[in-house]
Amino acid sequence: MSNLIADRGLRPLELPGGDHTAIGVASAISPDERESLADLLRALPGVSNVVHVSRPYKLASREFHAASTLVRLGDIVIGGNALTVMAGPCAIESRDQLLEAAHAVKASGAAVLRGGAFKPRTSPYSFQGLQKDGLKLLRDIGRETGLATVTEVIDPHDVDLVAAHADMLQIGARNMQNYSLLVAAGRSRKPVLLKRGPSATIDEFLFAAEYILHEGNDQIVLCERGVLPLDRTYTRNTLDVSAVPVLKEITHLPVIVDPSHATGHAHYVPAAALAAIAAGADGLIVEVHPDPRHALSDGQQSLTPAAFDALMDAVARVADAVDRRADWAATG
Ligand code: PEP
Ligand code: MN
């Protein structure tokens, strides 16, 4: 089938699913050509359905791929019934800091350790992260604690380096439309955590995911992290909680929420996190620091280990109410 598509000078893209493989034709195609190709494909053995995807982002759309995509980090499955929580400091500051955070978030039920090694900071005078040394700490502490790891990559040339040290590449809000970074992350075949830009529409967000999908990488988790607020007096951003059910409807990719950057204040993080789970998010990414007051970045929005532990109990209760599994509560 892919050959028949390629023979016409079009590009077939295969997305394997549970019991069938979706093959996309993500090239510009005239309506006449589309109909004749659809007829030919429909007649092939093994073809159950040919659909015309009306959304402009073809590969990201549920019309193209009806089943929810599961993103796997080793044994961890994101996007199924079970919720996944990623947690850890905004920035990796030292071995002791990351190790303490890792033990704490693991004990409370997080499955993935977050921590920035390359930090995109508004000011060039702010802490830029431990960079390569930070990546090594993340890799080592991930192994020591048995946690999967996610960390941000900000430069396309660093994708291979970051991919060699972490289980998942984070593309941050500021880089959501850095197309060469999206392409490089797609080519890496590593799972990608794609954060929504603070002023990106949902369509722009899905087009960014489309760049990664177009390189043949469907291991993408979307992250809503708050959009530009009307007023920064009380919160850093505004959590677009309604983006969660919208995205769950129009794309097959898993959706998680970052309540830390959405609110900017530790005190508001639990409410935003619980709202996200109630709205249907597949998980959370939360900033947790052993000593938030002395954090080198985002301390004001970082939870203490104790506050994170209480949040995880509350998340499990909301999960139960919306028929989602919170496996940490079952075992802990
Ligand atoms: C972060 O996760 O620390 C971060 C910088 O997030 P965002 O890209 O959403 O601002
Ligand atoms: Mn941060």
Are 17 and 89 in a shared domain? no
Statement to judge: residues 78 and 138 lie in one domain: yes
Q: Which of the listed ranges 27-36, 48-57, 275-284 does the model predict with the highest average pLDDT?
A: 275-284
Whether 332 has a pLDDT exceeding 60, the answer reads no
Could you give the percent of the chain with pLDDT greater than 70? 98
151 within domain boundaries: yes
91 Cα–ligand 1 center, Å: 10
Q: How far is the CA of 325 from the centre of ligand 1 (A)?
A: 26
As a whole number of angstroms, the distance between CA 140 and CA 127 comes to: 22
CA distance 177 to 175: 5
Ligand 1 proximity of 90 Cβ (cutoff 6 Å): yes
Ligand nearest to the CA of 299: 2
Rounded mean pLDDT, 78-100? 98
Q: Which atom of ligand 1 is nearest to the CA of 297?
A: 3
In this predicted structure, the answer to whether residue 319 has a pLDDT above a threshold of 70 is yes
Q: Based on the domain organization, do 26 and 154 belong to the same domain?
A: no
**Same-domain pairing of 228 and 280:** yes
Q: What is the mean pLDDT of the chain?
A: 95
The reported pTM is 0.93
Share of the chain above pLDDT 90, in %: 82
Considering the domain architecture, whether residues 84 and 144 belong to the same structural domain is answered as yes
Q: Is the CB of 195 under 6 A from ligand 1?
A: yes
- Residues 32 and 170 placed together within one structural domain of the fold: no
pLDDT at 26: 67
Q: Would you say residue 227 lies in a domain? A: yes
Check if 289 has its Cβ closer than 6 Å to any atom of ligand 1. no
CATH number at residue 75: 3.20.20.70
Ligand 2 midpoint to CA 89 (Å): 8
Decide if 47 is inside a domain: no
Identify whether residues 256 and 204 lie together within a single domain: yes
Q: How many domains does the chain have?
A: 2
* Ligand 2 centre distance from Cα of residue 121 (Å): 9
Task: Tokens for 138, please give them.
Answer: 């993340």
Residue 125 lies in a domain: yes
- The ligand 1 atom at the shortest distance from the C-alpha of residue 175 is 8
Domain membership of residue 261 as a residue range: 71-331
Is residue 130, in this structure, part of any structural domain at all?
A: yes
Segment 267-287 mean pLDDT: 99
For residues 185 and 223, membership in a common domain is answered with yes
